[in-house]
Amino acid sequence: MLGITFFDQFGEYIMLLRKVFTKPQKRKVFFVNLIQEIDKIGISSLWIVAFISVFIGAVATIQTAFNIDSPLMPTWSIGFTVRQSMILEFCPTIISLILAGKVGSSIASELGSMRITEQIDALEIMGINSANFLILPKIVASVIINPFLITMSMFLSILGGWLAGVLTGFVTTPNYIDGLQIDFHPYDVFYSLIKTIFFAFLISSISSYKGYHISGGALEVGKASTKAVVTSSIFIILFNLILTQLLLS
Amino acid sequence: MIEAVHIFKSFNGNDVLKDVSIQFKQGKTNLIIGQSGSGKTVLMKCIVGLFEVDKGKIFFNERNFSEMNFEQRKDIRQEMGMLFQGGALFDSMNVIENVMFPLSMFTNQTKDEIRERAQFCLKRVNLENTDQLFPSELSGGMKKRVAIARAISVNPRYLFCDEPNSGLDPITSNVIDNLIREITQEYSITTVINTHDMNSVMEIGDNIAFINKGELWWEGNKDNILNSDNTELNKFVYATELTRALKKTR
């Protein structure tokens, strides 16, 4: 039964994506909507991403410093550890999970409210492909803006780590920078950004699906919002494993 | 003219519409009446294509709408206007943007021309100086009038109204009813209205279809509805103390 529900929903999701990825009715209107979505999805998330990144970077530095017991272990390993953990895992995955909560719930509740107040029906009656009109700008905006957010997050988390390291005296600036530079592979950043693009697509499309397909009243909007966050998070974790295996093996 | 022929529709095995055939005439206000749950909203949603019919055909001026795909339906949809129960105005847009929206999507007019047309439509529904208000700042009656303005902005050939009086006081209801009738006659639109408001029926019922348990039980107009010998229709028409008292005085 659970399997049938999953396949039903997966089929519905694919059908929705088929409706979404068609030529926009009017290119000019699409670009206006896209800019608005970039603002709603990306710009409004700047502060929360910046705040979390700086503090997690700082915590990573302090925890690494406390866990270095051996005097033979060089202090530059603090910078090295912070860089590796932030670029490879924290920024693309954890920040995407946070965005799934913030952006995913917002997309699902916006579309859900439009569905129950018949605004989506009004678009359909006018002859507008509502899925394309409402969802495509959200998906494109997420895929464009999330890599920028994650790049900013990488920079700020490493900066936060440096601030914490220097202010607490665990590491000096030259040592921290040495750690950042040692054994650095630019491919790691590429891998991280590829993951981010996949996660951005998952967050926006799954949340849109959950909001677009609700029926009922206000209670359903809340439920759809919760389901959007939970499902997006599960798929982010799942795809994290798959992409890591594919891109790093 | 709109024609629905032998329409069947069911949800999860529950038959909601059973062999409904009906015609809606141009330049007239065509009312679909019936109790809540009788199938009138489903019938309207089937006609406009929000629900697909299980069996049957729908013609818009002899164009077979039920056999068209989404792309083919676009032309007919651009000739439709619909007034939803709650107005269905776009929350993120103000009044003037709501009315301008269909014009900006489907015409190549300049922004000034679109704005001028939108202002004309708002004036036509007696709404002026409300351009910058958002739907959340409007009363129920104002929302309906903005929705009518949006529906008529593209000069529709077909106007659909789903319970246009729900949630309105009798005076505002009357204003909305008269507005719909005036627009229907002025632009020779085929108007279809779902309602269970007897005041509307007596005010604007050029053609009336009574739907009961998913079937068409009676057709007529406001002049002969009160004298019908259809038992189920009489139960509906004389459901309140007021209408029963009026019946006695006739």
In this structure, are strands B190-195 and B158-162 parallel, antiparallel, or unpaired? parallel
How confident is the model over B8-23, as pLDDT tens digits?
Answer: 999 988 999 999 999 9
Q: Is B58 inside any structural domain?
A: yes
For residues A108 and B239, give the distance between their C-alpha atoms in angstroms, rounded to a whole number. 42
Angle at B3 between CA B84 and CA B19, to 5 degrees: 90
Phi and psi dihedrals of B54, rounded to 5? -75, -40
What confidence score (pLDDT) does residue B169 get? 85
Sheet containing strand B207-212, strands side by side: B80-83, B158-162, B190-195, B29-33, B207-212, B215-220
Q: Is A107 inside any structural domain?
A: yes
For residues A58 and B97, give the distance between their C-alpha atoms in angstroms, rounded to a whole number. 47
Q: Is A59 inside any structural domain?
A: no
- Please report residues of B whose CB lies closer than 8 A to that of A113: 91
Alpha-carbon separation of residue A227 from A111, A224, A233, B6, B30 (angstroms): 14, 5, 10, 40, 43
Assign residue B32 the CATH number of its domain: 3.40.50.300
The answer to whether A8 contacts chain B (CB < 8 Å) is no
Asked if pLDDT for residue B132 goes beyond 80, the answer is yes
Q: Is A85 inside any structural domain?
A: no
Confidence of residue B232 (pLDDT cuts 50, 70, 90): confident
Asked if pLDDT for residue A183 goes beyond 60, the answer is yes
Do B74 and A127 make contact, defined as CB atoms within 8 angstroms?
A: yes
Which of A37, A119, A138 is the mutation pick for testing B, counting most B CBs within 10 A?
A: A119
The answer to whether A25 contacts chain B (CB < 8 Å) is yes
Asked if pLDDT for residue A47 goes beyond 90, the answer is yes
Confidence of residue A157 (pLDDT cuts 50, 70, 90): very high
What confidence score (pLDDT) does residue A156 get? 97
The answer to whether B86 contacts chain A (CB < 8 Å) is yes
Instruction: Give the minimum alpha-carbon distance from B103 to chain A in angstroms, rounded to a whole number.
Output: 10
Contact between residue B38 and residue B51 where contact means Cβ atoms under 8 Å apart: no
Split into its structural domains, chain B has a count of: 1
What confidence score (pLDDT) does residue A150 get? 96
What confidence score (pLDDT) does residue B250 get? 65
Do B49 and A25 make contact, defined as CB atoms within 8 angstroms?
A: no
The count of other CB atoms within 10 Å of the CB of residue A242 is: 11
Instruction: Give the minimum alpha-carbon distance from B45 to chain A in angstroms, rounded to a whole number.
Output: 10
Show the domain range for B61. 1-79+195-250
Please name the residue of chain A whose CA is at the shortest distance from the CA of residue B73. A127
Which of B52, B60, B85, B91 is the mutation pick for testing A, counting most A CBs within 10 A?
A: B91
At B123, list the tokens. 């004036």
Asked if pLDDT for residue B60 goes beyond 90, the answer is yes
Which of the residue ranges A137-146, B134-143, B222-231 has the most confident prediction, judged by mean pLDDT? A137-146
Asked if pLDDT for residue A1 goes beyond 60, the answer is no
Region of poorest pLDDT, from A102-111, B107-116, B217-226, B241-250 = B241-250
In whole numbers, what is the pLDDT of chain A averaged over residues?
94
The answer to whether B105 contacts chain A (CB < 8 Å) is yes
Q: Is A231 inside any structural domain?
A: yes
Q: Is B145 inside any structural domain?
A: no
Query: Percentage of residues in chain A with pLDDT exceeding 70?
Result: 98
Split into its structural domains, chain A has a count of: 1
How confident is the model over A48-72, as pLDDT tens digits?
Answer: 999 999 999 999 999 999 988 778 8
Please name the residue of chain A whose CA is at the shortest distance from the CA of residue B103. A126
Do B50 and A121 make contact, defined as CB atoms within 8 angstroms?
A: yes
Q: Is B187 inside any structural domain?
A: no
Q: Which among A184, A163, A210, A177 has a CA at the least distance from the CA of A60?
A: A163
Asked if pLDDT for residue B163 goes beyond 80, the answer is yes
Do B78 and A113 make contact, defined as CB atoms within 8 angstroms?
A: no
Identity of the amino acid at A26: K
Q: Is A27 inside any structural domain?
A: no
How confident is the model over A9-44, as pLDDT tens digits?
Answer: 999 999 999 999 999 988 999 999 999 999 999 999
Which of A25, A113, A121 is nearest residue B105 as measured by Cβ atoms?
A: A25
Confidence of residue A4 (pLDDT cuts 50, 70, 90): low
Task: Give the global pTM.
Answer: 0.89
Q: Is A33 inside any structural domain?
A: no
Asked if pLDDT for residue B165 goes beyond 90, the answer is no
Q: Is A206 inside any structural domain?
A: yes
What confidence score (pLDDT) does residue A3 get? 63
Sheet containing strand B63-64, strands side by side: B14-24, B2-11, B55-60, B63-64
Asked if pLDDT for residue A176 goes beyond 70, the answer is yes
Mean pLDDT of A147-156: 96
For residues A234 and A3, give the distance between their C-alpha atoms in angstroms, rounded to a whole number. 16
Within B62-162, residue ranges assigned H as helices are 70-77, 95-106, 111-124, 140-152
- Please report residues of B whose CB lies closer than 8 A to that of A117: 86, 88, 91
- Please report residues of A whose CB lies closer than 8 A to that of B48: 125
ipTM of the predicted structure? 0.86
Show the domain range for A111. 91-160+185-248
What confidence score (pLDDT) does residue B179 get? 87
Instruction: Give the minimum alpha-carbon distance from A125 to chain B in angstroms, rounded to a whole number.
Output: 6
Instruction: Give the minimum alpha-carbon distance from B85 to chain A in angstroms, rounded to a whole number.
Output: 9
What confidence score (pLDDT) does residue A52 get? 96
- Please report residues of B whose CB lies closer than 8 A to that of A217: none
Region of poorest pLDDT, from A116-120, A218-222, A227-231, B105-109 = B105-109
Which of A20, A117, A123 is the mutation pick for testing B, counting most B CBs within 10 A?
A: A117
Confidence of residue B197 (pLDDT cuts 50, 70, 90): confident
Contact between residue B166 and residue B148 where contact means Cβ atoms under 8 Å apart: no
Q: Which comes out higher in pLDDT, residue B94 or B78? A: B94
Q: Which comes out higher in pLDDT, residue B122 or A4? A: B122
Instruction: Give the minimum alpha-carbon distance from B89 to chain A in angstroms, rounded to a whole number.
Output: 6
Q: Is B19 inside any structural domain?
A: yes
The answer to whether A218 contacts chain B (CB < 8 Å) is no
Asked if pLDDT for residue A201 goes beyond 90, the answer is yes
Mean pLDDT of B197-213: 89
Asked if pLDDT for residue A134 goes beyond 90, the answer is yes
For residues A98 and B31, give the distance between their C-alpha atoms in angstroms, rounded to a whole number. 51
Contact between residue A50 and residue A156 where contact means Cβ atoms under 8 Å apart: yes
- Please report residues of A whose CB lies closer than 8 A to that of B82: 121-122, 125
